[in-house]
Amino acid sequence: MAKQAAADDIIVRFAKVQKSYDGETLVVKDLNLDIPKGEFLTMLGPSGSGKTTTLMMLAGFEPATHGEIYLKGQPINNVPPHKRGIGMVFQNYALFPHMTINENLAFPLQVRNMGKAEVEDRVKKILRMVELPNMGNRRPGQLSGGQQQRIAVARALVFEPHLVLMDEPLGALDKQLREQMQYEIKHIHDRLGVTVVYVTHDQSEALTMSNRIAVFNDGVVQQLSTPDELYERPQNSFVAQFIGENNKLKGTVVEIGGDKVATVKLDSGDMVKALAVNVMAKGDKTLLSIRPERVDINPVGADVTLKARIVELIYLGDHIRARLEVAGHSDFVVKVPNRQGSDAVAEGRAVEVGWKAADCRALDYLEFSH
Confidence of residue 174 (pLDDT cuts 50, 70, 90): confident
Instruction: Specify the higher pLDDT residue, 221 or 320.
Output: 221
Q: With b meaning 16 or more CB within 10 Å and e meaning fewer, what string describes 51-66?
A: bbbbbbbbbbebebee
Q: Give me the mean pLDDT over the 237-258 stretch.
A: 90
User: pLDDT exceeding 90 applies to what percent of the chain?
Assistant: 60
pLDDT at position 36: 96
For residues 83 and 339, what is the distance between their CA atoms, to the nearest angstrom?
Answer: 58
Confidence of residue 292 (pLDDT cuts 50, 70, 90): very high
pLDDT at position 7: 64
* 22-51 confidence digits (pLDDT tens): 989 999 999 999 999 999 999 999 999 999
Confidence of residue 159 (pLDDT cuts 50, 70, 90): confident
* 50-84 confidence digits (pLDDT tens): 999 999 999 999 999 999 999 999 999 999 998 89
- Sheet containing strand 74-75, strands side by side: 26-36, 10-20, 66-71, 74-75
Q: What is the CA radius of gyration of the chain?
A: 25
pTM (predicted TM-score): 0.85
Confidence of residue 162 (pLDDT cuts 50, 70, 90): confident
Q: Give me the mean pLDDT over the 357-370 stretch.
A: 75
DSSP per-residue codes, 220-264? EEEEEE-HHHHHHS-SSHHHHHHSS--EEEEEEEEEE-TTSEEEE
Q: What does pLDDT average to over the chain?
A: 89
Is the confidence at residue 327, as pLDDT, over 90?
yes
pLDDT at position 341: 52
User: pLDDT exceeding 70 applies to what percent of the chain?
Assistant: 95
Q: With b meaning 16 or more CB within 10 Å and e meaning fewer, what string describes 121-136?
A: ebbeebbebbebeebb
Is the confidence at residue 277, as pLDDT, over 60?
yes
pLDDT at position 344: 61
Q: Which of 181, 208, 191 is closest to 42 using CA atoms?
A: 208
* 65-69, 142-146, 229-233: least confident range: 142-146
Task: Give the chain's domains with CATH numbers.
Answer: 2-237 (3.40.50.300), 238-369 (2.40.50.100)
For residues 287 and 222, what is the distance between their CA atoms, to the nearest angstrom?
Answer: 17
pLDDT at position 301: 87
Q: Give me the mean pLDDT over the 198-220 stretch.
A: 94
Is the confidence at residue 259, as pLDDT, over 60?
yes
For residues 34 and 58, what is the distance between their CA atoms, to the nearest angstrom?
Answer: 12
Quickly list H helices, the chain. 2-8, 51-59, 101-110, 116-129, 145-157, 175-192, 203-209, 227-232, 237-242, 366-369
- Sheet containing strand 220-225, strands side by side: 86-90, 163-167, 195-200, 40-44, 212-217, 220-225
Q: Do residues 33 and 224 touch, judged by C-beta distance below 8 A?
A: yes
pLDDT at position 8: 73
Q: Kindly tell me the burial class for residue 89, based on how many C-beta atoms sit within 10 Å of its own C-beta (0-12, 13-18, 19 or more).
A: buried
Q: Which of 180, 236, 227 is closest to 208 using CA atoms?
A: 227
